[in-house]
Structure 1
Amino acid sequence: MDQTRLRTEEYEFGVPDSWDRFADVVARAYGGYDAAPAYRAVVAEVFEPKRSLFVRRDGRPCATLALYSFDMGVPGGRRPIAGLGYITVDPTHRRRGLMRGMIQRTLAGLHERGEEPVAALHTTEPAIYGRFGFGGATRAVHLEIPRHARELTISQLEPLLPVRVAEPAECVAHIARIHDGEPDRHPGTFHRDDAWTRRALSDLPERRGGAGRMLCMLAEDSDEGGRPRGYALYALTARWVDSYPRYDVHVREVFAEDSLAYASVWRALLDIDLAGTVIADRPVDDPILALLADPRSAVPVVRDQLYTRVVDLERALPQRGYAAEIDLVLDLIDPDCPWNHGRWRLRTGADGASCARTASPAELSLSARELGAVYLGGTSLVQLAAAGRVIEHRAGAVRAAARAFRHDPAPFCPMVF
């Protein structure tokens, strides 16, 4: 900490005075690509300047950190989670402790003000954030489903719901309603207010990467009311092979209220005319992997996604739910958040969970990174222990803790912030 202060004492840490100046620093850090004014406006709408950090030297901005207020799903329900984004440092100010300084100030501020006890972020470089106590908490499986592998095992779900294609702008209310059930099903998914919904539906031509405009599929009740129960957002990229159309179908989102609506949407996606390959990033235990008769041909590839960090252990562990009762003493190694460092007794039961400091002998030892990784229930403590990243001091403690922390279905965060 003292070393960081010495290296950053010539810099001024404060809140940004405008989104445009903040965005200019971000653009330089990402190679000088200027976002179109329309996209800046969409991103600026969700920006929270009073919570974010802006670093200056001699009055000139040189580093950024955006902080968002999320109502995110965790095991047991929705809870306040602090989302970190746009953590950037100007190329001429690297190696001076600015990133560490911004993150430490953010974590300390959340703790001191009694705000969100857990932080989360997406990262362009996964190796960076483990040293700040962020652990990989959610994963996605990348699928590329070819034409010959579109058979679905849906016999027990027949007959499927009717599906229609619509413009996303016509379906905003339906999309928002259906998506709002996801945080209760999938930890890692957060509630999207109107501004975040607009960002999710943003479809500027210059950001399509050569694809056509975004479209929406709605799976609806077959009765006269036709209430939508599932939807997909997708776009097509034209591709021709030997004079035959083999378009790529890029699936941005698929959400549904029930299994019938989900299968109905996927059946329609896989039946798109001209399509060659359907491409999607889905939860690692997504039903589409069980629906496909030939999942191997989709060449599933697992990728890291959301990283989480327990900011205030005493509040974070009791606020989540547990899949099994447990009485366990954890020895947490957390030099960046010294208020977390040390031994804690975690007890869970029918009346909830409690976590308090204790002098009892440790049964498990782990760092903040490992605790962050298991917080949303998608990473196995057994796996981490096998990798030597969790130390067991009492036989059976790892497996007992793994059962308690695990969540089914796996956590998933479909939107980068």
Structure 2
Amino acid sequence: MGSPRDSGAGPGTGTGTGSGARVPPGLAGGRAAGYEFRAAADWAEFGAVLDLAYGGYPHSAAHSAVAGAVFEPKRSLVACRGGRVCATLAGYALEMTLPGGPAPVAGIGYVAVAPQHRRRGLMRELVRRALTALHEERAEPVAVLHSTEPGIYGRFGFGPASQVVGVSVPPEARGFAAGPETGGLVSDVGSPVDARAAVAEVYDACLAQRPGLVRRDDAWLRRAFEDRPEERHGAGRLLCMVASGAGGDARGYALYRLRANWERCAPRYALSVREVFARDPAAYAFLWRSLLDTDLAGAVGAAARPVDDPLLALLDDPRSAAPTVRDQLYARAVDLDRALAARTYSAPVEVVMEVRDAMCPWNAGRWRLAGGVDGAVCVRTGAAADLALTARELGAVLLGGGSLVQLGHAGLVTELRPGALRAASAAFRHDPAPFCSVAF
């Protein structure tokens, strides 16, 4: 279940199947029996379920306005019983950078079940219907989501496709070992809304840098700027630092906030970083130097940075930043052939994969993938398999962040032809690592 209150997690995706959708074989009279599944009417239908599912925290009118602006009713699903909505799944049409360039993906968020309706198969059925609709409509070939609890979505064929690192840089570890020359850059701090044009310009310029980044229109940008007082936990309002060149051109920006704290009569404010994006290494280093040198600041932390964030290379003492790695984005192939052909590969690859996929049985069987840096094709084949794996393991490497070799050493991918595992792993990997800054 993805959480609307976790910047690294979001709930549901899917295409609405309509109120007249038939009950799939095996569910009549069993799990999920007695429930009606239909497309969502509007964002307001989600409110009561999310309130109960996430601990009784009602959404404010301001948050509902922001979330409702990006909500897509026709792509979202609800389960009802007795005329009441008791489970939800939100679906989004997104454009995400994959290895090789931007591609359409289906975002899933706000997958939630009211407490009194848990353990009845509703989550599984909502996800199954969403994926089936995407397949039948030949819509987005890849589905992605954030997960509040990492153990949930593997059983639905989603693999951990990206990782993030959390850091907390204490005052004594702010020194940089080296770094690019940042002379000529200046910073300006103010409201993110006032810096909207600069933020949008820089972010769009950075989209091609990493797989996992999602294009943001005005509604998604408002979501990025959301600053609910109840979520500040004693911190001040969200601030935006813009780094500009001598000509006034925006080269980078950072979104952050400060929480007042004093130790032994001295200010040790906690500075929390939400986003940092820059067009070039000099602007990136300049922004981090400026954040670490903020007046009153003690520890400077960020809950979710790319696992290979350049900051870790810039710090003279990265150990003291206590980097902690965790899972972030989850992905799965909706249509395996189209999903693998939607990206490029870091090295030439020709491999036959035997894939098991219980949630999307149309993906099961043997597939021949052939491609490289210019593209790929994936077709069914009767040839002997080189690798055997499940949809979950395939999802873990779909964005270029997972390692087939690691999964093989864990016994999750079976090598059937000597040498196939290492060759395929090198082709699937992407540098830099994938990262998603958008909560959905």
TM bucket (normalised to shorter chain) is over 0.9
**1:154/1:351 CA distance change after superposition, 3 Å:** closer
Alignment pair present for 1:337 and 2:353: no
Is 1:251 the equivalent of 2:312?
no
**2:408 matched to 1:385?**
yes
2:307 to 284, 297, 304: 284
Q: Which amino acid aligns with 2:309?
A: D
Are the counterparts in 1 of residues 243 and 253 from structure 2 also a CA contact under 8 Å? yes
Q: Distance in 1 between matches of 2:233 and 2:125?
A: 35
Q: Secondary structure at the match of 2:361?
A: coil
Please tell me the root mean square deviation across aligned C-alpha atoms, in Å: 1.2
CA distance in 1, matches of 2:281, 2:256: 20
Aligned-pair CA distance for 1:182:
3.0
Q: Is the 8 A contact 2:211 2:434 kept in 1?
A: yes
2:4 aligns with none
The one of 247, 254, 271 equivalent to 1:232 is 254
Q: How does 1:275-314 map to 2 (within 5 A)?
A: 275-280=297-302, 281-314=304-337
- Is 1:164 aligned to residue 188 of structure 2? yes
| Contact 1:4-1:100 at 8 Å conserved across structures | no
Residue in structure 2 matched with residue 415 of structure 1 by the alignment: 438
Q: Please state if 1:324 is matched with 2:333.
A: no
Pick from 227, 234, 237 the counterpart of residue 213 of structure 1.
237
Equivalent runs, 1:108-257 vs 2, <5 Å? 108-159=132-183, 161-222=185-246, 225-257=247-279
User: CA separation in 1, counterparts of 2:183 and 2:206?
Assistant: 25
CA distance in 1, matches of 2:373, 2:323: 38
- Contact 1:237 1:247 survives alignment (8 Å): yes
Distance in 1 (CA, whole Å) between partners of 2:31 and 2:401 is 37
In the TM superposition, what whole-angstrom CA distance separates every residue of 1:11-57 from its partner, at most 9, and x where no partner exists?
10001223112122111111111111111111110000111001110
CA distance in 2, matches of 1:292, 1:226: 28
Structure 2 Cα separation of the partners of residues 350 and 366 of structure 1:
23
Deviation digits for residues 337-379 of structure 1 (CA, Å, limit 9, x no counterpart): 1110000000004652110000100000000000000000011
1:265 aligns with 2:287: yes
| CA distance in structure 1 between the partners assigned to 2:37 and 2:411 by the alignment | 38
CA contact (8 A) 2:179 2:314 kept: no
SS in 1 for 2:400: coil
Structure 1 position 155, deviation (Å) = 4.9
Q: Which amino acid in 2 is paired with 1:202?
A: E
Q: Compute the displacement of 1:154 (Å).
A: 3.4
Query: Residue 94 of structure 2 aligns with which residue?
Result: 70
TM-score, normalised on structure 1? 0.97
Instruction: State the secondary structure of the residue aligned to 2:308.
Output: coil
Query: Does 2:147 align with 1:105?
Result: no
Residue 323 of structure 1 contacts residue 403 of structure 1 at CA under 8 Å; is this kept in 2? Answer: yes
User: What's the % identity of the aligned pairs?
Assistant: 55
Q: Which structure 2 residue ranges, 5 or more long, are not aligned?
A: 1-23
Cα deviation for residue 118 of structure 1 reads 0.6
Deviation sequence 1:48-97 (CA, Å, 0-9, x none): 01110011101111000000111001100011110100001111111111
Name which of 34, 50, 67 aligns with 2:74: 50
Q: TM-score, normalised by structure 2?
A: 0.92
Deviation of the 1:158 alpha carbon? 4.2
Mean Cα deviation higher: 350-359 or 293-302: 350-359
* Counterparts in 2 of 1:254 and 1:156: CA distance versus 1, 3 Å: closer
